[in-house]
Structure 1
Amino acid sequence: MRFFLPAALAALLAPLAPAHADETWRADTGMIAYLAEEEGYAIFSFTTDQGYPAKLYIPGLAGNYDSRGTHDAFWIGEGAATCPADLGYGEAITGNWGQARLLFDEPAFPTSFTLLMGDCFGALDRAVRAETTYYD
């Protein structure tokens, strides 16, 4: 019997290297999912505290699974416009958006986080706690 070490090693390490689509978190507002990576941004889908579908855009987080910390971001959501100007990324253009900050509990996947959010350019005045749904 022939044993091929690189293939065996890859099989053992595969569970440690997550595909971003496998990252989901449970929050009071619903599920949060690592949706995609585009142009250096990690994009999460979530539901706002007003109940609208939204996306969180986190620059520099794409491909980062083991050196996470505090990340400034912005969110764009559906729903009634609350900001004096529209903001858009890709095809999503709306007046319902704001600044955000993501604070991961641990530097490596899997980890929970706290999401701080504000409307438009206002203060980060709301917090959403997100617990990982990943289980060994």
Structure 2
Amino acid sequence: MLKKLALCLALVAPPLAADEAWDSDMGLIVYEAEENGAALFSFVNVDAYPATLVIPGLAGNYNTRGVHDAYWVGTGAGECPAFLAAPGSEATTNWGRALISFDRPAFPTSFTLTLGDCFGPLTYAIRAEAP
């Protein structure tokens, strides 16, 4: 009985976060984890350093995605006036605001990630294509 219940739950469960990955000019962008209601994506930022994109409110949302405010935290030297850390990482001065705009509400879908430095305007973009 328990085996049948586990099988049924596995068949209706939402996709695992790590199953989502996108190709971009900066390399692979991967949905790594969910923490405190936020989705955590790994990517290489335009400064060529590894970074984490933190998207509050996106955790568990696999079918009604749209435009979401976010922030990124990178490695390497930064110039922001304060330290910030992504969940599970060390604080750094290399971070900024972000906006992720999905093309369609459900995976698989491509998106555009617009980024800025520190509290500044969103000034550069990364296009991510679904497989």
Q: What displacement does 1:92 show?
A: 2.3
Separation in structure 2 between the aligned mates of residue 47 and residue 25 of structure 1, nearest angstrom: 12
Aligned partner of 2:104 in structure 1 is 106
Percent identity, aligned pairs only, is 56
**TM-score, normalised relative to structure 2:** 0.88
1:34 corresponds to which of 28, 31, 34:
31
**Coordinate RMSD, CA, aligned:** 1.9
Name the CA distance, whole Å, in 1 between partners of 2:20 and 2:86: 22
In 2, are the aligned partners of 1:76 and 1:87 still within 8 Å (CA)? Answer: yes
Give distance in 1, aligned partners of 2:17 and 2:27.
18
The number of residues matched between the two structures is 125
Report SS of the residue matched to 2:76. coil
> Rg larger in 1 or in 2?
1
> In structure 1, how many angstroms separate the alpha carbons of the residues matched to 2:84 and 2:32?
20
Aligned to 1:86: 83
Unaligned stretches of 5+ in structure 2?
Answer: none
Runs of 4+ in 1 over 3 A off after TM superposition: none
Assess if the C-alpha contact under 8 Å between 2:21 and 2:28 holds in 1: yes
Structure 1 residues 121-132: aligned runs within 5 Å:
121-132=119-130
> Where do residues 60-99 of structure 1 align in structure 2 (5 Å cutoff)?
60-90=57-87, 91-99=89-97
Deviates more, 1:85-94 or 1:96-105: 85-94
Query: Counterparts of 1:103 and 1:73 in 2: how far apart (Å)?
Result: 10
8 A contact 1:76–1:92 mirrored in 2: no
- Give the Cα–Cα distance (whole angstroms) in 2 for the partners of residues 112 and 84 of structure 1: 33
